Amino acid sequence: MKQLTGMDAAFLNIETGPVYGHTSSVAIYDSENAAERLTAARLRERMMSRIHLIPVFRRKLVSVPLDLDQPYWCDDPDFDINAHIYDVGIAAPGSRDQLKELASRIVAKPLDRSRPLWEIAVVNGLEDGQTAVISTVHHSLIDGGSSNDINSVLLDRDPDADQTNPPPQPYNPEPTPDPLSMLTSAMTANALRPLKAAKLQWDVFTELVQKSPNIAKLAPSMTSSAVTGTAHNTVFNAKPTNRRIWEPFRVSLAEVRQIRKSTGATVNDVVMAICAGGLRNWLSANDCLPDKPLTASIPVSIRDDSTKGALGNQVSMIITELPTDVDDPLERLKAVNEAMKSAKEMHDALPMAQMIEFGDFATPGMTSMVARASQRISMAGQVMPSVTISNVPGPQWAMYLCGAKLLENYPVSMIVDGQVLNITLLSYNGSLDFGIVSCPNVVPDLKGVADAIVADHQALLAEATKKK
231: pLDDT strictly greater than 60: no
Contact of 405 with 160, CB cutoff 8 Å: no
Task: Give per-residue pLDDT as tens, 255-310.
Answer: 999 999 999 999 999 999 999 999 999 999 999 999 999 999 999 887 666 555 55
The candidate with the shortest Cα–Cα distance to 402, out of 69, 67, 43, 145, is: 43
- Topology match between the domains 2-181 and 198-393+413-467: yes
DSSP reduced 3-state for 51 = helix
User: Of the CATH numbers 2.30.140.10, 3.30.559.30, 3.40.50.300, 3.55.50.30, which one belongs to the domain with range 198-393+413-467?
Assistant: 3.30.559.30
Give the β-pairing of 118-123 and 85-88. Answer: parallel
One-letter amino acid at 418 equals G
What pLDDT is stored for residue 379 in this prediction? 40
Q: Is 139 annotated as catalytic?
A: yes
pTM here? 0.89
Q: Where are the domains of the chain?
A: 2-181, 198-393+413-467
150: pLDDT strictly greater than 60: yes
Average pLDDT of 376-384? 54
Task: Give per-residue pLDDT as tens, 91-105.
Answer: 989 999 999 999 999
User: Of the CATH numbers 2.70.150.10, 3.20.20.210, 3.30.559.10, 3.40.720.10, which one belongs to the domain with range 2-181?
Assistant: 3.30.559.10
84, 138, 139, 457: the catalytic one is 139
The candidate with the shortest Cα–Cα distance to 43, out of 22, 60, 24, 27, is: 27
Task: Give per-residue pLDDT as tens, 430-451.
Answer: 999 999 999 999 999 999 999 9
Q: Residue 195 and residue 193: Cα distance in Å, rounded?
A: 5
